[in-house]
Amino acid sequence: MTKNAFLTELHQRLSGLEKEALEQRLAFYDEIIEEYVRGGVPEEEAVAKVGTVDVIVAQVMSEIPLTKLVARKMPQKKSWNAGKIVALILTFPFWLPFVIVIVTLLLALYILLWALVISLFAVDAGLFCLSVLGFVSIVPLSAENPALVGLVAGGAFLCAGLFMLLFFLGIMAAKGVVAMGGQFLLWLKSSFVGKEGRNHA
């Protein structure tokens, strides 16, 4: 990709930002690419070194608070006239339940995912306790019933192994849920910037 194509796509993807902030970011990446080119790096290779547009947009969106995007978007809405207000009130019984259902479903899904992660850690804690109890009970069992020592020790090792496995699975699951929440927030932010970019187009 050439520098002009890169900067054009970046401009389109970030066109919902404030004009000054957008120009600063474009100038920043323009200067980086020019430095690479002055150093003897081919233009397309210099653009590749900067990173993809998707990665840059994701980074920019993660740095901007959602409230700032919403606050900037609101003043640009056209003024409400009496007809729009009446239409909004008359259609209130239709759109409000739909919005409530969508928000509730998304929130319930996110809570459910966290409940599953917490349940996984709860089971993991139980396995840890069983493994500790098994190892502790080996000493008294060896005096009373040596035949059970091997069985208890095997069960304790099994619980310890499952504990370690579920612990790492729980960590991965928690990171996955956090990443999903971050991706949803990023999509929400990008939708504000994207809509604004289309309005300017």
Say which residues have a Cβ less than 8 Å from residue 76's Cβ, sequence separation at least 6.
196, 199
Please state the rounded mean pLDDT for residues 56-83.
63
pLDDT of 170 > 80? The answer is yes
Please state the rounded mean pLDDT for residues 29-39.
89
Question: Is 68 part of any domain?
Answer: no
pLDDT of 76 > 50? The answer is no
Same domain, 89 and 184: yes
Same domain, 113 and 185: yes
Number of domains in the chain: 2
Question: Is 87 part of any domain?
Answer: yes
pLDDT of 16 > 90? The answer is no
Q: CA-CA distance, 170 to 162, in Å (whole number)?
A: 12
Please state the rounded mean pLDDT for residues 134-158.
80
Question: Is 73 part of any domain?
Answer: no
- Cβ atoms 29, 37 nearer than 8 A: no
pTM summary value:
0.55
Same domain, 111 and 46: no
- Residue 15 structural domain: 3-63
Please state the rounded mean pLDDT for residues 129-140.
86
Question: Is 21 part of any domain?
Answer: yes
Same domain, 176 and 86: yes
**Tally of CB atoms within 10 A around 126:** 14
Say which residues have a Cβ less than 8 Å from residue 64's Cβ, sequence separation at least 6.
17, 189
Find where tokens 């493994």 sit: 131
Q: Which two tokens stand for residue 5?
A: 């194509």
* Average pLDDT of the chain to the nearest whole number: 81
Q: Which two tokens stand for residue 68?
A: 């700032």
3-state secondary structure of 51: coil
Query: What is the phi-psi region of residue 181: left when phi exceeds 0, alpha when psi lies from -120 to 50, beta otherwise?
Result: alpha
Task: Return the percentage of the chain with pLDDT > 90, whole number.
Answer: 23
The angle formed by the CA atoms of residues 39, 25 and 187, to the nearest 5 degrees, is 125
Pseudo-torsion of CA 170, 173, 177, 178, nearest 10°?
A: 70
